[in-house]
Amino acid sequence: MNTIRVCSPIARSQIATKTQLDRKSITNFVTELIDEKLVAESGKMENVSGRPYSMLKFIDNYVAGIYIAPHLCRGVLIDLYGKIIASHEIEYPLYTDLTTICRAVENIYNELSSVKTPSFGVGISMPGSLNLESGVMEEAVNIPCLSNVNVREIFSAFIKEPLFLEEESRSIALAEKWFGKGRCHDDFVVVEVSAGVGMGIVVDRCLFKGAGQFAGEVGHIVIESGGTKCSCGNLGCLEAYASEPAVVKALSKYSKCSFERLRYFPKDSIDPKDYNKIMNDVGFRLGQGLATVVNILCPHTIIFSGAVIDLFGTEILPAIRDGINKNSVKSNAGQTELFISELAHVDALGAATLPLADIFEVPGYFYI
């Protein structure tokens, strides 16, 4: 299946060569996939040594991904190759109620389904401590109305296709693994800087979740003992200095305008010196927190995404590097490359990779 995804259109004999499986087995497997209406023949290709090749490609089938953020809900519909067919977004106020979020998710699901049915499944991602076995969001500091809610149960009430759940930053790491900067790396880290600061860790092409399934809470590394209070209740967390609400608060002190979200920040409303100072501080704080990650994991690659990065990434990246260099072991920091994500709708795309993984990956054996 994955060989067809990557190399389509492709002949049976070419699949056999690439997978190093015998041709008879490939013929049998392809027959099954054709019977299941997953694959179809798509014309011929000349063969200098015999009969023309019958080329194979996927039949049109789709999956959907929906991302729930504190201030918006975004969805994408993609085909089995990962091409975005449709997208939709709904905004709502910060700290809104559960009914509003459920209505937004249902409206986006219906909007995408009206284009094409996501017959192979729907993935949903959101920030928080999500118990993947029970489907219960054990804690969601940035979307309080989801705390202690069985999100699998409430979304299954209107989503009839197979439903897959994942934490926001980890699903973004999946998007980078499949379609972005992570395609060429077996091991890498994704840092998502939005309403919170989260991290997805990929080791040997597989998500690392930790024994408790909640690995990646980099936003709650304490970088200043007794410092600013964080939404989690602790003092001095990285998230209290570098998340979108923290940056909004810092900019608002010097801006002539009021705004709730960074996408509405008028850059000309602030003195350039104050602006540069804030950006340098945000970047350095991020680097300071990530120095712990660099020392412990020594990742070859860190990929940044999220609202803060979308707007200010190129400006703060040098300060992030400075913060890492000044707070970590030189030999580790020197091996770590920093990149900014280039994927559109990366958060919703990550959610859509969840049903794709169910099709193309074999847990414990084969990962894309």
Write phi, then psi, for 359 (nearest 5 degrees): -85, -45
Residues of the chain with CATH 3.30.420.40: 62-173, 181-340
Fold classified for 181-340? Nucleotidyltransferase; domain 5 (3.30.420)
How many whole angstroms separate alpha carbon 165 and alpha carbon 158?
15
CA–CA separation, 285 vs 195, rounded Å? 16
Please report the pLDDT score of residue 288 as a whole number: 96
Closest CA to 165 of 183, 148, 153: 153
Q: Per residue of the chain (368 residues), what is the pLDDT tens digit?
A: 999 999 999 999 999 999 999 999 999 999 999 999 999 998 887 776 667 889 999 999 999 999 999 999 999 999 999 999 999 999 999 889 999 999 999 999 999 999 999 999 999 999 999 999 999 999 998 899 999 999 999 999 999 999 999 999 999 999 999 999 999 999 999 999 999 999 999 999 999 988 878 888 899 999 999 999 998 889 999 999 999 999 999 999 888 887 888 888 888 889 999 999 999 999 999 999 999 999 999 999 999 999 999 999 999 999 999 999 999 999 999 999 999 999 999 999 999 999 999 999 999 899 99
What number of residues does the chain have? 368
CATH homologous superfamily for 62-173? ATPase, nucleotide binding domain (3.30.420.40)
How far is the CA of 237 from the CAs of 46, 51, 179, 230, 259, in angstroms?
Answer: 62, 66, 31, 6, 24
Give dist(CA 241, CA 229) in Å, integer. Answer: 10
Determine the pLDDT at residue 50: 66
For 58, 69, 240, 250, 260, the CA distances from 145, given in Å and listed in that order, are 40, 12, 20, 26, 19
pLDDT for the residue 258? 79
Task: Outline which parts of the chain fall under CATH 1.10.10.10.
Answer: 2-58
Q: Which CATH number fits domain 2-58: 1.10.10.10, 3.40.50.300, 3.30.420.270, 3.50.30.60?
A: 1.10.10.10
- pLDDT, residue 187, reads 94
- pLDDT value, residue 345: 94
